[in-house]
């Protein structure tokens, strides 16, 4: 009696190009995970510093806390707009756009300290502790730059540490020094490190 062999299921060979595409995707994902975010702007930082110096001068002329606060809040929004536009442009022109994995990680690391600063601003205003605002702003911004900078080029965490140092000084300094220390931090540090970044890392 002759037994017939039933044919098994046919195996469809995986195409070589499919393997190559999978390997390329894996390599690209690995490089994105390992690579730093290089979109921190240099000239944008310089522009933010210049507007902060102007804001410090204008704030010094104000006769009430409300007008002083309005000056610095307006400067904060202006600096945010300048920084975002400059960052999007630089990141888009480079290898790590803001929508890339390094860009998203940078934003996620940078954002929480800034949100904490906004909430503390409201809380300190309600408590009447406006003299603590300059130090708190510098500390929260320094924390944001340091944490976000850990995923960026090495000089950015150094800038964050400098903001933290100025913030600690502002927290215990006389109230009369507030605008000067804000000018030193948001003005001088942005300009100095912005020039360094623009020279060493472009834009």
pLDDT of residue 39: 84
Q: Look at residue 92 in the predicted model and tell me its pLDDT.
A: 83
Looking at the chain, list the stretches that DSSP marks H as alpha helix, in order from N- to C-terminal side: 16-34, 43-60, 65-93, 101-127, 133-149, 155-172, 178-182, 190-201
What's the CA gap between 181 and 170, in Å, rounded? 6
User: What CA–CA distance (Å, rounded) separates 203 from 197?
Assistant: 8
pLDDT digits (tens, 9 = 90+) for 4-19: 555 555 555 556 666 5
Phi then psi dihedrals of residue 9, to 5 deg: -65, 140
What's the confidence (pLDDT) of residue 18? Answer: 60
Predicted confidence at residue 17, as pLDDT, reads 63
- Report helix, strand or coil for 15: coil
Low-confidence ranges of the chain (pLDDT < 70): 1-34
pLDDT for 4: 54
> pTM of the full predicted structure?
0.81
Number of C-beta neighbours around residue 105 at 10 A: 18
């Amino acid at each position: 009696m002759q037994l017939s062999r039933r044919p098994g299921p046919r195996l469809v060979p995986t195409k070589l190009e499919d393997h190559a595409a999978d390997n390329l995707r894996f390599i690209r994902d690995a490089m994105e995970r390992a690579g730093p975010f290089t979109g921190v702007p240099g000239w944008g930082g310089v522009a933010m510093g210049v507007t902060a110096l102007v804001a410090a001068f204008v704030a010094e002329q104000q006769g009430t806390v409300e007008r002083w606060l309005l000056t610095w809040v307006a400067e904060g929004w202006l600096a945010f707009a300048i920084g975002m536009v400059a960052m999007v442009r630089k990141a888009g022109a480079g290898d790590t756009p803001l929508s890339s994995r390094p860009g998203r990680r940078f934003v996620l690391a940078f954002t929480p300290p800034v949100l904490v600063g906004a909430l503390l601003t409201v809380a300190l205003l309600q408590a009447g502790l406006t003299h603590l605002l300059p130090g708190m702003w510098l500390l929260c911004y320094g924390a944001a730059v340091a944490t976000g900078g850990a995923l960026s080029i090495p000089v950015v965490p150094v800038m964050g540490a400098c903001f933290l140092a100025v913030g600690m000084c502002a927290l215990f300094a006389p109230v009369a020094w507030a605008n000067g220390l804000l000018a030193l931090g948001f003005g001088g540090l942005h300009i100095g490190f912005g020039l360094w970044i623009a020279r060493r890392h472009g834009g």
